Structure 1
Amino acid sequence: MYRRRFLVLALGLLAAGGCDGGRGTHTPVAGRLTVVAPAARGQGWDRAARALAMVMIGEGMARTVEVSDQPGSLGAAALGSFAAVRGPFTREGRLLLTGMPMIAGVEIANAASVVDSTTPLARLVGDWAALVVSSGSHLRTFEDFAAALRRDPAEPTVGGRMEGGSDHVLYGMIGKCLGVDTRLLDYAGYSGGTEAEQALYDGRVTALLGSARSFVPGIAAGRLRPLVVSSGERIDGIDAPTLMELDVRLEYTDWCGVLGPRGMSSEDRDAAVALCDRLDASPRWRAVCAANGWNRVYLSGEDFRQWLVTETGRTREVLNDLGLLSTFGTSCWGSCVHRPYM
């Protein structure tokens, strides 16, 4: 039995989607709305922003919606360009997509936290992760992987998306759960899934962490073997246990949410949260989520702000354990590692 508990709730990174239909009949919440995406066009959060824009226009939530791409630095570049309020939200609204990579990027840059730099509005969706190996790997189960990690934390090399991003953070959380020295973990970040998978097939990495959905084709073709998934329940199409089943008290999903500019008035904040509420309740949005396998776990307003404070502190601690922070001024903001079993 694994002897440590580390309970994490983190929710989701969007992908693109679309659906048809006429405009909604409600009065628009915003006139001209700009959605800032911390990604290059056609990648990651850009696709998320365009999905949001499509649904908002389709439901008549705003008269016009423009997507502005601001890639670089794990989202820190987009945050830096997301200045204070320009005008009333109902006339010229601005939203910034955020998620775990941005939270981590800001901490690594030793900049002001996302909570302090913006007005948190809502958490939207998530994407479960999976740990996979090549079909010819000597690691048959997650227990095999965990045993190798305990023998020598630096021996298995795990690949995933960029260093300091959500996959890297998850690896640190798993290592912490298993009681290993997380500073010794060997992680290789790649710019894309194809490059990461090739590194696995070439033997340059031992295993991959990433979006469970992205591994389904390789699993179905017999090229990849899933060892474990990070969801609370098993995932259709992936024959692997959850971390929770294996007594690793960790549930994790790459999360995505939206922020407003710093200094929003209470009236503008209420209007922006109302827009998010309408988005989450939208039949179009729910259809897009269902079609793309996104996990809708909605949280808005003050509840989201408080959750984000806790999540930022938890992320900061893991990044420090991984040796990615130059300074570490706080130990935790009230939600860290649960102690060993009673």
Structure 2
Amino acid sequence: MKKHAVLAVSALLTLIAPVSAQSLDNLRIMAPASPGGGWDQTSRALQSTLQNQNIVKPVQVFNVPGAGGTIGLAQLYNSKGDGKLLMTMGLVMVGAIQTNSSKVDLSRVTPIARLTGEYEVIVVPASSPYKTLGDLAAAWKSNTGLAFAGGSAGGTDHMLVGLFAKAAGVDPKKMNYVPFSGGGETLAAVLGNQVTAAVAGYGEFEAQIKAGKLRALAISAPKAQAAIPVPTMKSQGFNVDLANWRGIVAPPGISSSEKAALVSALDKMHASKEWKDTLKTRNWTDLYMSGSRFDVFLKLEANRTREILKDIGLVK
């Protein structure tokens, strides 16, 4: 009897194993933005690593641009129960949901993992009289009309200026923030002395900082970054840190086993040398967090973002 039982179990495992191994075949990743941007680049880096490491095959990336990612978010929500669909997203989407009054928010999706992040820097022209963040804050308190350039209204750059204003004792609703649609326009504005200061991810200003055309006053990291010789905001007495992070979510209504399979696939990808090399090559900061920890983080980040945008005056 024991021999028959062992054979029966072996036969059952043989039948189950191929199904488990193939459960993530034909995975699709939605980049809720146009080709070439950060979400698109992240999606294609995921696609490459997952396939090259034989974690999932095949993986298709497709784009659904518009409204800070909220058009793609609505499409993801309408794909309830699809355990082979993922969407790349991040802090920009958290803000866009609120500023666009999106009917679908991130409580309606299945969080899978936070992947990467980029810290922001506050820069001034090399000829600026402001040598430190404290210098800039003091001038700002006496003249709230000082102009700060950055990306779209309500985006990560705008949020950081709002947090800095509050920490510096400036009313965020009175700050003069000049939004630009692209990093090139922001760069031109600060290099041309059209604004007092500018904010963007470090990578956008790196070349001009190293060339001595811009002075980086601070970085929004929680602690000093070995590869970026810029003092943190916290080290200068301003209790602010903010990362423009990117993550992955799935549709609502997938099973616990489907979620576990997706989390496991990304855990394996994150552990691979190829992914670590990708992070280095692209200068992405590793902020990996998966499963239930990411669930909690998303809720906290949504609440934090809402408060920042309220302070700025963009949401009620």
The answer for the alignment partner of 1:293 in structure 2 is: 283
The Cα shift of 1:238 comes to 4.8
Q: Is the Cα–Cα contact under 8 Å of residues 103 and 113 in structure 1 kept in the other structure?
A: no
The answer for the alignment partner of 1:57 in structure 2 is: 51
**Counterpart mapping for 1:220-299 below 5 A:** 220-235=210-225, 238-299=228-289
State the SS of the aligned residue for 1:132: strand
The Cα shift of 1:30 comes to 0.9
**Counterpart mapping for 1:110-189 below 5 A:** 110-112=101-103, 114-153=105-144, 155-189=145-179
The answer for the alignment partner of 1:48 in structure 2 is: 42
The answer for the alignment partner of 2:16 in structure 1 is: none
Q: Which runs of 5+ in 1 are unaligned?
A: 1-25, 328-342
Amino acid at match of 2:241: E
The answer for the alignment partner of 1:5 in structure 2 is: none
Q: Is the Cα–Cα contact under 8 Å of residues 279 and 286 in structure 2 kept in the other structure?
A: yes
Distance, in Å, in 2 between the alignment partners of 1:237 and 1:285 is 19
RMSD of aligned Cα (Å): 1.8
Distance, in Å, in 2 between the alignment partners of 1:59 and 1:287 is 13
Amino acid at match of 1:157: A
* Identity fraction in percent: 31
Structure of higher CA gyration radius:
2
Say if 2:32 is the partner of 1:38. yes
Q: Is the Cα–Cα contact under 8 Å of residues 31 and 62 in structure 1 kept in the other structure?
A: yes
Say if 2:91 is the partner of 1:100. yes
> Normalised by the size of structure 1, how large is the TM-score?
0.82
The Cα shift of 1:295 comes to 1.5
Distance 1:219 1:272, change over 3 A: same
Per-residue displacement from partner, 1:236-270 (whole Å, max 9, x unpaired)?
Answer: 56543111111212222110000000111111111
Match of 2:310 among 311, 320, 337: 320
Length, aligned pairs only: 297
* Bigger RCO (CA 8 Å, 6+ sep): 1
Determine which structure has the larger helix proportion and give its number.
2
Q: Is the Cα–Cα contact under 8 Å of residues 88 and 268 in structure 1 kept in the other structure?
A: no
Amino acid at match of 1:108: T
The answer for the alignment partner of 1:16 in structure 2 is: none
Q: Is the Cα–Cα contact under 8 Å of residues 68 and 92 in structure 2 kept in the other structure?
A: yes
Distance 1:207 1:78, change over 3 A: same
Moved more, 109-118 or 313-322: 109-118
Distance 1:29 1:151, change over 3 A: farther
Distance 1:184 1:72, change over 3 A: same
The Cα shift of 1:61 comes to 1.9
Distance, in Å, in 1 between the alignment partners of 2:77 and 2:229 is 46
Amino acid at match of 1:202: G
Per-residue displacement from partner, 1:63-88 (whole Å, max 9, x unpaired)?
Answer: 21111111221111211221344666
Say if 2:74 is the partner of 1:80. yes
Amino acid at match of 1:30: L
Distance, in Å, in 2 between the alignment partners of 1:114 and 1:96 is 14
